[in-house]
Amino acid sequence: MTEFSFYHLERAPLERVLPRLLERVLGSGLRAVILAGSPERVEQLGSLLWTYDPASFLAHGTAKDGFAGDQPVFLTTDEENPNAATVLVLLDGVDAEFKGGFERCLDLFDGKDSGAVDAARSRWRAAQGPGNTVKYWKQDDAGRWEQAAEV
């Protein structure tokens, strides 16, 4: 059984939302795998997680860094779970066959891109399998997350 959470990014960009979600994941004592759409995106996200807040950073790594099993957050373009994560984060419209092997799957998509929204709707329908919980989160006018649906 997997809990799927779809995050409709409308008010804040991924670069502001992702680090905050990962802070919550790590604050709960969990590990995450981030599945991105390209190696360039993995590099961009790696830089972001080191620099998003001058007073903080999120420990993470990629295959190039080595020690994958030690990383609390692992960035990749491959369907893999080398750090024994329980949370999968899907970005860039990427879908994954192995997502059901995680306790939680966070699917972040750009609400200003109609193609991304349509693709997320397809992933939403596909996630509604037996035993799964599927939640839809959107940002209110102040940019706070509010749950708008649950199946």
What's 26's DSSP letter?
Answer: H
Tell me the C-alpha distance between 138 and 136, whole Å. 7
Would you state the pLDDT for residue 31?
98
CA nearest neighbour of 77 among 116, 49, 27, 42: 42
Enter the CATH code of domain 10-117: 3.40.50.10110
Tell me the C-alpha distance between 1 and 132, whole Å. 5
Q: Quick: pLDDT tens for 14-24.
A: 999 999 999 99
Would you state the pLDDT for residue 100?
85
H or E stretch covering 125: helix 114-127
Tell me the C-alpha distance between 111 and 101, whole Å. 27
- Model's pTM, two decimal places? 0.95
Domain boundaries, the chain: 10-117
